[in-house]
Amino acid sequence: MILQDLLMNLKSWIEIPAGSDFPLENLPFGIGRSREGEIAAYTRIGDTAVNLAALDASGVFTGMAFDYSAAFRQPVLNDFIAMGKAAHRALRKALQAFFAAGNKPDATLIKSLTGKVLFPAASVEMLMPVKVTDYTDFYSSIEHATNVGKMFRDPANALLPNWRHLPVGYHGRASSIVISGTDIRRPRGQTMPAGADAPVFGPSKMLDFELEMAFVVGKSTSLGEPVAAAGAEDYIFGFLLFNDLSARDIQSWEYVPLGPFLSKNFGSVVSPWIVTLEALEPFRVKGPEQEPGVLPYLKTEGLRNFDINLEVLIRPENGDENVICRSNFRHMYWNICQQLAHHTVNGCNINTGDLYASGTISGPDPGSYGSMLELTWRGTHPIRLSDGTERKFVNDHDAVIMRGYAERDGLRIGFGECTTKILPALT
């Protein structure tokens, strides 16, 4: 307990604003491009972005058991992630020691680091942190699955028979996963209007977000090698915020019998900073009770869910931000260990950098529903924004903003923002 308390009260000689997502206990990892065009691995402390390649070149990590120099200079974090958890932990400890308040360098050294190692975070362009070779989207919130089942199937039997027995998921499109700040164009496709006897083609009229989180795979496996639920976290590097944009009208026409296709692959958005499992240790919680009991390969023990507050905001063009949803990652029925164990139990191999999204994260009350589909109940109960306009789904030129943070006993570990703006469909 004493060690944990110490880890939760670290002070840095870098100024950290009150309420920052990025205290010294966080130290997330990302890929950034400086104004000079240099691409390197970064971490963040408060409002300061730290160029890890430049810090390494300054000799801070000399004598360590791990050589990070090549990995820090790659355009993605895959090589660094593949170095393994021992290397990640050693780096975090070294960074916390170097930036600790009690180890403040002299003014000459700080001056030499400024503009070479230390940058205002706003001056660094954040890029995709990993090369995503494969992406899977789960459907792991029982509240979300129940709401969808009530809307589209029998309200008395909202969940399909398999839902409580396995983490439902599908393989998505990795190439259209983009970094926060990327604009997404409204998709076009086939839809079946109500009362029509033939489909029509055109822009989606029911464009939606899905509030999700995604974990990044930290270790590859060989074909035929399953990952046991008990040891699954050894294969998970950390988390990102994830906006799984969805065209509901295209989806409802195309998804039978094989599931989503064009309704999901036109753009998904991730936050730039990967927050490690180690940083989230103080926020572990017990997940929902699973009834009936799961099969042995899906059984997990201990605290496998995380208490992470999540919110979604819509900002109309030239307008103010409107909070329209507040939820929490702790609500997930199927945890990340169960998801990875199920995904690999048949021998499916995984690769460092793969992304596994949670599925829409909805809570038990209407204000915690993680999609416009649920918040407006398929458009029947529009949301009124502060400018007087209403939303059934997302409009052109709306910015969708997702934020997430865990907070306890004065410690806040956050993810920053996951933001995208919707552009009109091509004509």
Inter-residue contact 189 to 205 (CB < 8 Å) = no
Cα separation, 283 vs 277, whole angstroms? 10
For residue 401, give both structure tokens. 């903003």
Inter-residue contact 425 to 187 (CB < 8 Å) = yes
For residue 280, give both structure tokens. 């989230």
In the block, tokens 């017990």 appear at 286
For residue 385, give both structure tokens. 């924004």
Helix ranges restricted to H, 73-184: 78-81, 85-99, 107-113, 142-152
Cβ partners under 8 Å of residue 157, min gap 6:
149
The answer to whether 144 is a known catalytic residue is yes
Cα separation, 336 vs 302, whole angstroms? 13
Residues in a beta bridge with 425: none
For residue 170, give both structure tokens. 């599908």
* Catalytic option among 88, 144, 331, 343: 144
Inter-residue contact 360 to 244 (CB < 8 Å) = yes
Active site residues: 144
